[in-house]
Amino acid sequence: MSGWLRGVCKEVVSGDCVVIAGAVKAGPPPEKRLTLSSIVAPKLAKRDGTTKDEPYAWQSRELLRKKLIGQVRAGGVQQSPYLEALQKAEERAQLAGLGVWTRDPAAHAEAVREVQPVEAFDATTFMQMNGKGSEVQAVVEAVSNGGMLRATLLPDFQLATIVLCGVQAPSMGRRAAPSATTPTTDGPDAPSTAPGSVPPGPSAAAIAGTSNAEPFALEAKSLTESRALNRDVRLIVEGVDKYNNLFASVLVPPPAAANGAANGSGAKVEDESLAELLVKAGYAKCAEWSLNLMTSGAQRLRDLEKAAKQQRVGMWVNYVPPPTNQTKLSDSFTGKVIEVVSGDCLVVKDQSSGVERRLQLSSLRAPRMGTRDRAADPYATDAREFLRKRLIGREVAVKMEYNRKVAPAGELVATPGEERVLSFGNVEIVPEKGEEKQNVGELVVARGFASVIKHRGEEERSCIYDRLMEVENMARSAKRGIHSAKEPPANRINDMSAPGHAAKAKQYLPFFQRNGKMQGLVEFVLSGHRLKVTIPKEGVTIVFAPSGIKTPARAQAASMGKPAVQGEPYAEEALQFTRENALQRECDVSIDTMDRDLLIWEKWTPEMDRAEEEDEEEQGPSAPGAASAPKEVLQVVVTEVVDASEFYVQRIDEPRVAWVANQIAAATQDQGPAIPPQLKVCSLCLAQFSLDKQWYRAYVERKDPLSDSYYVFFIDYGNREKVSDKCIRTIDSALAAVPPQALMCGLAYIKVPVAGSEHAGEAKSLLAQLLGGNQPMTASVISKGTVRMRMRPSLPELGAGAEDLSGYAAHVGSDRLVKDKC
C-alpha cells in the first residue's frame, strides 16, 4: 500500500501505532489502524495485568497522543521517506542519553508504571477516599459504548471502568463470531481505495450484521470516541451502584477547531459534558435513578432530552408523547400567604386580582395532616407549624409550574371527569430589609419536614429539582425530621370543637374563666365571628366567638332534612376579612362562657305576653315594700353559673377571700394530715380541683357508693365536682370558721326557663357568656329574701369607650336577655 491518506487521529495505541478515522457526513466513520514505519516503540503492559510496561512505553505513547489525538495527519508508506532524518534524531538521542537510551538504571525503573488490571479497581473504596463531587484527571483508553468508558486515573495509573452518570446509551450487544467468508480490512484482499482517502473499515451495516446492537448504538459510540477517546478528561465522581460500578460526569475538551479559535482569540473555552452531547444528539436518554446521583446538571439533561424529543432527533425519530395527567403552567404572581394547609400546601392571595389561590410546593411531599377518619402522619403538625411561623402574612413570589390530576379524596383511582386538579408552584419569600431571599421548598426539605418526589422521566418537576435533591441528602445525613430514627414528637390536643364534645368543654369552662388571658392560635375561621382556636399551653382546641359582635350569617346547604339557608349580605366579605387578618395568627383570648343559639321565642305570640302581664297584675308585687327599700350596691365577680336562675359571686372588697387562699396555699405545701376513714355528709374539707390542680375549701355532699370518691361543693366558688379520696385533705379550725365566700344570686325582674325545661340550657349559656370572664361587676341588691340581684359591669373596668356603653350595660341584667329571646 502506498500513497498519502487523510483522516483524523482517533486513538494512539502506543508510541508507534495509531488509529485514523475518515470523514463522513453521517454515521460511524471508517477506521484504519496504522503502525508508524521504520520505528519501534516500547510496548505497553497488557490490560489484564499479565505483563508490565517496558521502560518509557507510557511516556512514548503520551508524547504521541498529545501530538496527534484529534489532529488531521498524513499517512505514510512502508518505508518512511523521513528515514534519514529519523536515524539522525535517534543518534542525537543516543548521544544525549534520552529516554530509552539513558544509562541510569534508576531512571529506567522510574519510567515503568505500576499498572493494576481493571478488575482490581474497587469503586466503593475509591469513592470513599475521594468523596462525592470530587474531580479526578483521567485519560480515556477505550470506549465500550456511548455511555461506558475505560480510563486511566491519574496520577496513580489505575485502570477503571466509568459509567456516564445520568444517562443510558444504546447497548452494543454481543458480537457474533466472524464468518469465514467475511473479508478483513487489513488483509491482502482489502478493497482498493481512491487516492487521498482512508481505506474504509467495516461499515455500519456490516457491523450490525455481526452484532445485535440496539438502534443508534454505533452512532453513540462513535460520538463518544470522537470526543473522549485518548483525551485528557475530567471526571466528577457521582456515586457507585450495587454492582461496584463507578458513575461519574465526564467533562471533555472542546473540539480541535474550537481550540484553535479560542487560542487565536485568547478566550477560554470551557470543557463540555459528554452526557449532554449524547442526549442533545438523541444518542442517549436520561436514567432517572442515575440522575439522582448527580451533584449538579441533572435538570440540564432533562431539558436537553425534552428538546431532542420535540425535534425528533436520533433515537426519538419516531417519538410520540405518552398521555399524561400533567399540564405545564407558566404564570407567575406575587401575593400574601393567607393559610398554611400543610408542610407542602399553601393558600396565597394574588396581589393583583385579590383571588386566593391554593397551591402545592413543586416536587415535594410532606406528611399528611389528620382528618376525621385518620390521625395525622408523624411530623405533619410540626411541618405545618414550621411554615406557619415563617410564612403567614408574608409576601411571596410564586412561579406556577404544572397541574396534576389526582383521584378525589378517599379514592385510589380517579373516575374520568371527577379528578381533582392540583396546581404546583415554586415559592420564594420576598425579602424584607436586611433579609436574604429564601425558597420555601428548600426550607421545608432542609428541616426534614418534606421529601422530594422521585419523578418519572416524562413528568414535570420543580425548576430547582437538583437543589432540592441536594438539600434532602443533607437533611438525611443530619437525620432531621422525617429522616430521624427518634420517636416523633407527640401532639396531644383535645379538640373540644368537634360535635358531641359540649359536655367535655363545659368542664374546662370554670378553669378558663379563672385563668384570664391565655395565648392561642387561630386554626380555622368558620365565619366572620366564629373561630376555631387552639390553646397550646392547655392542649385544647375550642370554638371561639368574640363577645359583643355578630357578623352576617353565611349560606348553608340543605342537609339532614333541613332546608337550605340563604346567606345574609356581606357574610362572605366578613369571612374573608377575618381569614386574612386572623387565620393562623397568634392571639390572646379570655374565655367568658359557652353559648348556643337561643330559641325559646320560636313559638312566642303577642297574646302570651299580654296574658302574662294580666296574671302579674292580679297577683300583685311578690315582695311588698321591696320597691321602696333602699338598694345595697356591691362590687362582685361571678364565679359560677349554675343555670339561668342561679349563679354565684364573690365580693371584691372582701379581704377574707385572699386570706383563705393564702392559708390554703401554706397548708398544702406539705403532705396534709391523714384523711379520716369516712367523711360525713356536709363535712368541711380541702379538695383539689381537677383542671388547675389547686386546693379549695369544700364540703361533702355525698359519697360515691361504688368507689372511694366524694361529690363535693366548693363553698368559695359555687361549683361542684367528683374527686377521689386522694384529692381530699382535712381542714383546720381556723379555715373552717370563715363563712363561705360564694354568694348565691339570681336576676331580678325577668322570668327564665326552669331547669330541665325547653331552652333552659341555652338560657344558661347566654347568662354565663354575659357574666363570665372574671370581670368586676356592680350588683344592686333588689331583694335578699329571694336572693335576686340586678347586675351591670363595673364601668372603670371597661376601659376606653365605657361612657358610650353605660346606658346599655346598666340593663345587662334584663333588657339584653329579653332582646336575645331568652
SS (H, E, C) 341-395: EECCEEEEEECCCCCEEEEEECCEECCCCCCCCCCCCCCHHHHHHHHHHHHCCCE
Rounded Cα distance between 381 and 356, Å, is 23
Crossing angle of helices 298-311 and 274-281, in 10° steps, is 20
Rounded Cα distance between 302 and 306, Å, is 6
Contact in structure between 113 and 53 (CB atoms under 8 Å): yes
Query: Does position 417 have pLDDT exceeding 80, yes or no?
Result: no
Query: Does position 136 have pLDDT exceeding 90, yes or no?
Result: yes
The percentage of residues in the chain with a pLDDT greater than 90, rounded to a whole number, is 31
Over residues 630-634, the mean pLDDT reads: 76
SS3 30: coil
Crossing angle of helices 298-311 and 465-478, in 10° steps, is 150
Tens digits of per-residue pLDDT, 508-566?
Answer: 888 888 888 899 999 999 889 889 999 988 888 888 888 878 889 888 877 767 788 88
Query: Does position 768 have pLDDT exceeding 70, yes or no?
Result: yes
> Who has greater pLDDT, 113 or 742?
742
Give the amino acid at 436: E
pTM of the model: 0.55
Q: Which pLDDT band holds residue 301 (cuts at 50, 70, 90)? A: very high
User: In the prediction, which pLDDT does 814 show?
Assistant: 33
Contact in structure between 310 and 318 (CB atoms under 8 Å): no
Cα angle for residues 519, 520, 526 (degrees, 5° grid): 155
DSSP string, 167-195: EEPPP--PBPPPPTTPPPSSSTTPPP--T
User: In the prediction, which pLDDT does 556 show?
Assistant: 81
The percentage of residues in the chain with a pLDDT greater than 70, rounded to a whole number, is 78
* Strands (DSSP E) found in 127-267: 135-145, 148-153, 158-164, 167-168, 232-240, 246-252
Tens digits of per-residue pLDDT, 29-75?
Answer: 788 888 887 777 888 887 777 777 777 777 878 777 777 776 664 44
Over residues 450-471, the mean pLDDT reads: 87
User: In the prediction, which pLDDT does 780 show?
Assistant: 86
**The three three-digit cell numbers of residue 301, written as one number:** 439533561
User: In the prediction, which pLDDT does 459 show?
Assistant: 82
Q: Which pLDDT band holds residue 3 (cuts at 50, 70, 90)? A: low
Query: Which of 766, 765, 763, 796 minimizes the C-alpha distance to 778?
Result: 796
Query: Does position 813 have pLDDT exceeding 70, yes or no?
Result: no
Residues 6 or more apart whose CB falls under 8 angstroms from that of 73 comprise 7, 9, 20
Query: Does position 189 have pLDDT exceeding 80, yes or no?
Result: no
Query: Does position 816 have pLDDT exceeding 80, yes or no?
Result: no
User: In the prediction, which pLDDT does 623 show?
Assistant: 43
Query: Which of 810, 619, 783, 642 minimizes the C-alpha distance to 713?
Result: 642
How would you class 395 by CB atoms within 10 Å of its CB: exposed for 0-12, middle for 13-18, buried for 19 or more? Answer: middle
Over residues 244-255, the mean pLDDT reads: 91
Query: Does position 616 have pLDDT exceeding 60, yes or no?
Result: no
> Who has greater pLDDT, 109 or 642?
642
Query: Does position 363 have pLDDT exceeding 70, yes or no?
Result: yes
User: In the prediction, which pLDDT does 767 show?
Assistant: 86
**The three three-digit cell numbers of residue 655, written as one number:** 379581704
- Name the one residue in this structure whose C-alpha cell is 441536594: 470
Query: Which of 526, 791, 816 minimizes the C-alpha distance to 652?
Result: 791
Query: Does position 416 have pLDDT exceeding 80, yes or no?
Result: no
Query: Does position 487 have pLDDT exceeding 60, yes or no?
Result: yes
User: In the prediction, which pLDDT does 330 show?
Assistant: 79
> Who has greater pLDDT, 140 or 791?
140
> Who has greater pLDDT, 325 or 661?
661
User: In the prediction, which pLDDT does 193 show?
Assistant: 36
Q: Give the rounded distance of the alpha carbon of 70 from its chain centre.
A: 50
Q: Give the rounded distance of the alpha carbon of 404 from its chain centre.
A: 18
How would you class 433 by CB atoms within 10 Å of its CB: exposed for 0-12, middle for 13-18, buried for 19 or more? Answer: exposed
Antiparallel, parallel or unpaired: β 788-793 and 743-747: parallel
Antiparallel, parallel or unpaired: β 420-429 and 345-350: unpaired
Over residues 128-154, the mean pLDDT reads: 91
> Who has greater pLDDT, 600 or 579?
579
**The three three-digit cell numbers of residue 340, written as one number:** 398554611
Tens digits of per-residue pLDDT, 706-762?
Answer: 888 899 999 999 999 999 988 898 888 888 888 999 998 888 877 788 777 778 888
> Who has greater pLDDT, 622 or 531?
531
Q: Which pLDDT band holds residue 186 (cuts at 50, 70, 90)? A: very low
- Name the one residue in this structure whose C-alpha cell is 390553646: 535
**The three three-digit cell numbers of residue 475, written as one number:** 437533611
Q: What is the side-by-side strand order in the sheet with 720-724?
A: 720-724, 709-714, 695-703, 684-688, 728-729
User: In the prediction, which pLDDT does 181 show?
Assistant: 43
> Who has greater pLDDT, 606 or 591?
591
Over residues 771-795, the mean pLDDT reads: 64
> Who has greater pLDDT, 82 or 685?
685
Query: Does position 364 have pLDDT exceeding 90, yes or no?
Result: yes
User: In the prediction, which pLDDT does 211 show?
Assistant: 58
Rounded Cα distance between 7 and 19, Å, is 10
Tell me the β-bridge partners of 721: 712
Q: Which pLDDT band holds residue 619 (cuts at 50, 70, 90)? A: very low
On average, the pLDDT of the chain sits at 78
What domains can you pick out in the chain, each with its CATH number? Answer: 6-110 (2.40.50.90), 118-174+197-316 (2.40.50.90), 326-483 (2.40.50.90), 494-556+568-590 (2.40.50.90), 631-815 (2.30.30.140)
